[in-house]
Amino acid sequence: LRDNIRKLTPYSSARDEFKGEASILLDANENAFGSPLPVNYNRYPDPLQLNLKEKVNQIKGVPTEHIFVGNGSDEAIDLLLRAFCRPGIDNIIIVPPTYGMYEVSANINDVLIKRVPLTTEFQLDLNSIAETIDENSKIIFICSPNNPTGNSINRADIETLLNNFNGIVVVDEAYINFAKQRSFIQELTEYNNLVVLQTLSKAWGLAGLRIGMAFAARDIIDVLNKIKPPYNINEASQTLAIQALENVDEINTWIKTTVREREKLVKDLSTLPLIQYIYPSEANFILVKMTTPREIYKYLVELGIIVRDRSSVILCEGCLRITIGTPEENQQLLHALRTYPLVNG
Ligand code: PMP
């Protein structure tokens, strides 16, 4: 933990001290009359999002003291860097190809980046990681299932890191709902250096609300709460997320449909001559190696279909990343690729 963070006196409000029921709130310079909306949002939201955390606890089985809620998991990534890495001195380890925000957030915070590429099977190169770690390495970011490759990272390898690395091991499980592998949430009691990230932006269908979670040992969660902006999750997002989390069955149905559609799309795409390889995926997207990725990308854009061009990313040369859409959207994508002009001559 950075020294300045250890010594920090966090922002406090009158409502931190006063936990009872108040009838007159004249402490926070809000508008006492209400809001010009059907629902009143004139009061500041609960800074610790307790009702939301209790709902998350019911679903995940993790006690609320071990849950941090961020404005997207991107906020948790940023706060972890700010809490544990001294600008210009400390470094993080990332394992490309992986999610881009670890690097961007580190750069914003002037934290050094050490890159240890995944193997050609998109797994951890534990020997190179061990050689790369130095006394200023504070965080290792592992994404599993990994974005953009779609595969899960071997569990035993992550455990090796947890057992041997002195700093924090972040396991980003944004896509865990689509995977066969178990979440690392169950291991929280085993490892005090484990941070598991999850999000409501993917399977839960709430990307627009911006809600991400970090699950970790209590002292790590306390640090994140200490340095976060006081009201990082707005009232509308808290209320709507609680409502949405009631609908586990609906989400499970969508997850099953997405996985089924993924397998169908893989099967259908693999018959097309412009597809060279489709990497096995445990996520809601597939990484597809193609003959002429840049041209195909532009062709799809012209048809109003946007995919992600990853063809210049290390180990993803020639690849586009395609999110699984609705069955109709997937059909349209397939139709577009079937009628790709270069193939048809
Ligand atoms: N982690 C991974 C691996 C992601 O792919 C994403 C979103 N693309 C995020 C985190 C960020 O999610 P959020 O919407 O919760 O900020």
CATH assignment of the domain containing 106? 3.40.640.10
- Alpha carbon 51 to its chain's center: 22
114, 165 in Cβ contact below 8 A? no
Q: What is the pLDDT of residues 60-85, one digit of tens each?
A: 999 999 999 999 999 999 999 999 99
- The DSSP output letter for 93 is E
Number of domains in the chain: 2
Ligand 1 and 99: CB distance under 6 A: yes
Same domain, residue pair 124 and 73: yes
119, 125 in Cβ contact below 8 A? yes
Interface predicted TM-score (ipTM) over 0.90 = yes
Q: Are strands 168-172 and 137-143 parallel, antiparallel or unpaired?
A: parallel
Q: What gap in Å lies between CA 36 and CA 26, rounded to an integer? A: 20
Q: Are strands 212-216 and 194-199 parallel, antiparallel or unpaired?
A: antiparallel
Give residue 130's pLDDT band: very low, low, confident or very high (50, 70, 90).
Answer: very high
Which residue, 149, 197, 147, 151, is CA-closest to 171? Answer: 197
Ligand 1 and 144: CB distance under 6 A: no
What would the mean pLDDT of 261-267 be, rounded to a whole number? 98
Same domain, residue pair 219 and 284: no
Supply the CATH number for residue 261's domain.
Answer: 3.90.1150.10
Same domain, residue pair 125 and 59: yes
Structural domain span for residue 309 = 249-344
Same domain, residue pair 69 and 197: yes
Q: What gap in Å lies between CA 295 and CA 272, rounded to an integer? A: 16
Reading the block at residue 255, the tokens are 């997850």
Ligand 1 and 73: CB distance under 6 A: yes
The domain boundary residue, chosen from 230, 246, 262: 246
Same domain, residue pair 187 and 310: no
Same domain, residue pair 103 and 30: yes
The domain boundary residue, chosen from 221, 246, 271: 246
Q: What angle do CA 71, 208, 43 make, to 5 degrees?
A: 60
Same domain, residue pair 199 and 306: no
Half-sphere exposure of 303 (CA within 13 A, CB side): 17
The domain boundary residue, chosen from 246, 276, 299: 246
Q: Ligand 1 centre and the CA of 147: distance in Å?
A: 9
Q: Residue 344 above 70 pLDDT?
A: no
Same domain, residue pair 34 and 132: yes
- Alpha carbon 311 to its chain's center: 22
Ligand 1 and 70: CB distance under 6 A: no
Atom of ligand 1 minimally distant from the CA of 77: 10
What would the mean pLDDT of 105-122 be, rounded to a whole number? 98
